[in-house]
Structure 1
Amino acid sequence: MGGSMLLHRLPLRVVLLLCSLVALFSVVTADVVQTTKPGCANRCGNLTFAYPFGMNNAGNDCYFKESDAFFIFCDNSTDTPTPYMYTKECYNSFGGSSYNNNLSLIIPDFPISSAKNKFIAVGCDTYATFSGRQGSTYVTGCLSSCESFSDVINGSCSGIGCCETSIPRDAYQYNISVSSFNNHAGIWEFNPCGYAFVAEDGFFSFSTDNLHEPPFDMVPIVVDWLIPDQTCEDAKKNTTTYMCQENSNCTDAENGNGYQCRCLEGFQGNPYLQNGCQDINECVTSQPCVGICTNLPGSYNCSCPEGSQGDGRKDGKGCTPIIHEKRFRSIDIVLGQ
């Protein structure tokens, strides 16, 4: 697997420390090989993770030590802190600003997922920007406007009370700014604030109630994790630190600077561990044959039993009985006189 992970229920001030607290390898079934190194924990509280993430317990190399981003600090002695992962701008009935906060987030090793997050702004007199650097400075954002409460439609985030836009690729950091055109004049009674945030796509469903106050105090963010700062070509030059194990391949990350490992087709498990990618027995898991199924490393073969013909596959020709035609020997009959 390569990976995306969830920045979930984390306060902004500890994001850099705990950004690797995630549930990883969720597509790997429970009966597959272990996902952590021997002797290493795979859980912190109610959070499950897999190598190259890990805690440094029992003196083992439980995480990929070439990057501290894979180290998980687990403190079970404290309650889960309350996160603050959005920014808002509020006004009073006279149009004066009563609350303003801009938000900045920096994740040095893992880029924010451009495919699995959205930038969202809520308000009837709100425009919000999302800016950062990708070698050069970029700015994107959206505008949300409405004149009365009746204009707003629940579930719609198309620009009337709520708007959203995509996240740029290669975004390791961002700044969010929220502003107003008319200081919420004329709409203050039902919408005193505008706010904006980045969240996992599908997390937020807009409601008219959201115009008064956000319905949450925590926002999940998905980041694309990778082995940072190397391409596959460069990483393969050092067999000591190269992370992709047998029965896996290496791909340069589509989002961010680094590479990811994935099990080859026909294998599943953790490609970062030795013997982590195990053969899938398709004869058992998917039962693709109508005839005889033979499991092979990374593949399988279908065949037909004796007395039948075809490719033996459920999605192919299957197996049909061989029909033998009856043949009669010609006999010359001589008639005598």
Structure 2
Amino acid sequence: MDCDLKRFFFAIFLFQIHGYIVASAFHHEFPVALPDCIDRCDRAGARVPYPFGIGKGCYKSKWYEVVCNHSLHLSFPFLPSIGLDVISFSLTDDFIYEDRSHKSNGFQIQSPRKTSGCSYGKKDVQSLNLTGSPFFISDNNKFTAVGCNIKAMMVGTGPQIVGCEARCGKENRYYKDADKSCVGYKCCQTKIPPGLQVYDSTVEKLEPGKNVCQEAYLSREDFSNYTLTSPDLTENVIVTMDLEWRLEVPPNTVPESSKCEVSTSVIRTDDQYKYQCRCRSGYEGNPYLPGGCQDIDECRTIYGVCGKNKCVNVPGSFRCEKTWPAILGGTLSSGLLLLAVGTWWICKVNKKQKAAKQKRKFFKRNGGLLLEQQMFSLQGSVNKTKLFSSSDLEKATNRFNASRVLGQGGQGTVYKGMLEDGMIVAVKKSKALKEENLEEFINEIILLSQINHRNVVGILGCCLETEVPMLVYEFIPNRSLFDHLQNPSDYFPMTWKARLCIACEVADALSYLHSAASVPIYHRDVKSTNILLDEKHRAKVSDFGISRCVGIDDTHLTTVVQGTVGYVDPEYLQSSHFTGKSDVYSFGVVLIELLTGGKPVSVLRPQEVKMLGAYFLEAMRNDRLHEILDARMEEECDQEEVLAVAKLARSCLSLNSEHRPTMRDVFIELDRMQFKKQGAQNLAENCEEHTYIQIATPETMSLSYYSPYTLVGNSSFSPDSKPLMIHTTQ
């Protein structure tokens, strides 16, 4: 009874899949058997191709004889030569079963199963021996083990060891994709070597314990993980495997000349040549029969293979012929495509030409020709100012990305950029420029490009191809003096020695600008936010946006007072006359910031001393200097030096500019203090000799003009605003 039940399930499984297999392998019902031979055991059964055959004279040899086995009113092929039922046959390379491609001539049988601890399978075939036959175990199969704590090994694989292990419990977290495939959790699968004719297996327990159901078999399917609980594993599942057949080469025959309808696949096994036949591309059928490979009519079997064109079948292939509608449609489509491509190309070229024309227009309007003329006339006597293209600066700043912004102010925005040679620069993108001031702007670029002082931020070049010119400066990495005073850091403590050194360096730079150059340059916006510190914490004076170049002994009269609240010279506020002494006043406020650490304007102080200068002068008059000094430097500072600097600052803040020292006098006094503090030897080791560059000025250059760059007008500028060249260290 158990045997009949098995055969019933086997028959049901066979009829469930044979229709699909037959449709896949022989979907055009081409002849597969010899003439006058039947090719099925019943109307719905699997087709039997030659060299197999049903009945005498219909098969190649006794190995390929097929007998129709009748059971429970069903009939299916049986191979008496090896004693196995056959589920289906396949001939073609593209035979597909459950999305897996089988690349050889073969047939499918029920797989032998080795079980342990199961209530079924004891009477099933457990091994397979095909020695001496033309049949081989296909390497499409995989050795599969199912169960908990199982170790399964194949027998008869020669020098190769084939086996796998599977475990249960909570170990599925250690197996990737354990719920999708057999990777060692409850089941495992592994490949087998080709050319096998013998199959047997052993099943062992990895750990002693209760008797659980375990089994091993060959299967062409990729199994997924089961919910495996003994004894229900695969009891009612028919597991199939693939076998291949190979024909022997006749004696004294060259393998390549073996008779096949179209092509031969030769395989050497055990010093004997065997072969398989296949139809070439574009043909289907049984290549083992004379004329068995028949042309495939792709025009009928492949829907829409030529689209709107006419499909013409040819032996082994097909061709598509254009009809008048197709030709007309193709011509129209090609014309529309060419029109679209041509329009796009014309628009692109036109856009490029407009952009180039606009750049030339901006370059000419922004004084590019004048700058080139001035540079040529000064060639050899000054540092060369580089003219950058707009594409160079866009690339350097990643199209002026917001993440590259270093600072913003009244004049515009400064971006961090990297040039093609790897040099880091700061690019100032200004907001506006009056056309009548273009000549003065170019003159200023020429003059500022000639400044070569270690304590002045150098200008490297400019870009005149944009609506508003852009300036390119050297990049200063270590924030401003204002930031260091208001936001101190441990890596650079603001000691009295450091403050005195910074004051001396800034005074040196301003003194150079005022008196060492052939044409004095007034900064007009000296403040702690415009004093930057480089990688060696050396002071650099920056932001010459509203600086002025004037003749010797001249002053500059403006209609709009410019500068930053808290730093602007009171005399300049009243008279609108800016002189070098106005920069001295602003520098005096910077000295007070170094002494007190206070802000130039603070609402925390009383109204009458809201300005840091007034607050300092009031403390000096009442002999309260020690009360307003920065507590961070009290312990290590020299009181005599501090008092001397305070007196110097007070003289810089004199309301009458005639009573203020010049920047040269201020630098000499601060330098003398450093000399006294460090000694002549240390001064020679630590300080570089200042070299001043004489600026050559062509006669045609106008030096008295209104600034095209205004940082702030009147007193609307915030006292705590950051300079354009600010940088926050990462």
TM over 0.5: yes
Matched residue SS, 1:73: strand
2:186 pairs with one of 136, 153, 161:
161
Q: Secondary structure of 2:70's match?
A: coil
Q: CA–CA distance in 2 between the matches of 1:113 and 1:122?
A: 21
Runs of 5+ unmatched residues, structure 1: 1-8, 11-20, 92-98, 311-317, 324-337
Judging changes above 3 Å, is the alpha-carbon distance between structure 1 residues 216 and 284 closer, same or farther for their aligned structure 2 residues? Answer: same
Closer, same or farther in 2 for the Cα pair 1:24/1:168, shift >3 Å? farther
If each structure's strand is expressed as a fraction of its own residues, which one has the higher value?
A: 1
Look up the SS of the partner of 2:161 in the other structure: strand
Say which SS state the counterpart of residue 139 (structure 1) adopts: coil
Distance 2:23 2:300 in 1: 21
CA distance in 2 between partners of 1:199 and 1:258 (Å): 25
- Distance between the aligned counterparts of 1:178 and 1:62, measured in 2? 42
Higher relative contact order (CA 8 A, sep 6+): 1
In 2, Cα distance between the equivalents of 1:226 and 1:25? Answer: 24
Letter paired with 1:106: N
CA 1:219–1:271: 2 relative to 1, 3 Å: same
- Say which is worse superposed, 148-157 or 210-219, in terms of deviation: 148-157
Q: Secondary structure at the match of 1:72?
A: strand
Written as runs of structure 1 = structure 2, the 5 A alignment for 1:175-324 is 175-183=200-208, 185=209, 188=210, 192-202=212-222, 204-216=223-235, 218-228=238-248, 234-237=254-257, 242=259, 244-245=260-261, 248-253=262-267, 258-286=274-302, 287-289=304-306, 290-305=308-323, 319-320=330-331
Q: Which has the higher helix share?
A: 2
C-alpha change, 1:29 and 1:181, in structure 2 (3 Å) is closer
Aligned to 2:59: 63
1:245-274 CA-partner distances (Å, limit 9, x unpaired): 2xx211225999622211121211111112
CA distance in 2, matches of 1:175, 1:53: 26
- Compare 42-51 and 207-216 and name the one that shifted more: 207-216
Task: For 1:276, give the aligned amino acid.
Answer: G
Query: Does the C-alpha gap of structure 1 residues 147 and 77 become closer, same or farther in structure 2, counting only changes over 3 Å?
Result: closer
d(CA) in 2 for partners of 1:193, 1:149 = 19
Residues 37-186 of structure 1 aligned to structure 2 (within 5 Å): 37-45=34-42, 46-56=45-55, 59=56, 61-65=57-61, 68-76=62-70, 85-90=112-117, 103-107=126-130, 108-115=133-140, 117-133=141-157, 136-147=158-169, 156-183=181-208, 185=209
Tell me how far apart the structure 2 counterparts of residues 260 and 28 of structure 1 sit (CA, whole Å).
18
Q: State whether residues 247 and 275 of structure 2, in contact with CA within 8 Å, keep that contact through their aligned partners in structure 1.
A: yes
Counterpart AA for 2:288: Y
- Asked if structure 2 preserves the Cα contact closer than 8 Å seen for 1:51 and 1:272, the reply is yes
- Count of matched residue positions in the alignment of Structure 1 and Structure 2: 268
Identity %: 29
For the residues of structure 2 that align with 1:268 and 1:201, how far apart are their CA atoms?
26
**SS class of match (1:284):** helix
TM-score normalised per structure 1: 0.65
Kept in 1: contact 2:111–2:217 (CA 8 A): no
Q: Which amino acid aligns with 1:181?
A: L
Q: CA offsets, 1:142-178, max 9 Å, x none?
A: 0112346998976542212211111211111122011
Residue 62 (structure 1) shift = 0.9
SS at match of 1:283: helix
Matched to 2:282, the amino acid is G
Q: Give the partner amino acid of 1:44.
A: C
Contact 1:24 1:49 in 2 (8 A): no
Q: TM-score, normalised by structure 2?
A: 0.32
Is the Cα–Cα contact under 8 Å of residues 310 and 323 in structure 2 kept in the other structure?
Answer: yes
Shift of 1:130: 0.9
Asked whether the equivalents of residues 135 and 246 of structure 2 are also in contact (C-alpha less than 8 Å), the reply is yes
Return the alpha-carbon distance in structure 2 between the equivalents of residues 84 and 223 of structure 1: 10
Change in Cα spacing, 1:174 to 1:305, as seen in structure 2 (3 Å) is same
Matches of 1:118 and 1:207 in 2, distance apart? 17
> Residue 295 and residue 84 in structure 1: after superposition, are their counterparts in 2 closer, same or farther (change >3 A)?
closer
User: 2-side partners of 1:293 and 1:195: how far apart?
Assistant: 54
User: Relative to structure 1, is the Cα distance of residues 251 and 215 closer, same or farther in structure 2, using a 3 angstrom cutoff?
Assistant: same
* Cα separation, 2, equivalents of 1:270 and 1:169: 24
Q: Which 5+ residue runs of structure 2 have no aligned equivalent? A: 1-5, 8-17, 75-83, 86-109, 336-730
- Rg larger in 1 or in 2? 2
Q: Please give the root-mean-square deviation of Cα atoms over the aligned residues, in Å.
A: 4.0
Contact 2:33 2:58 in 1 (8 A): yes
Task: Please give the alpha-carbon distance, in whole angstroms, between the structure 2 residues aligned to 1:236 and 1:122.
Answer: 44
Tell me the CA shift for residue 208 of structure 1: 2.4
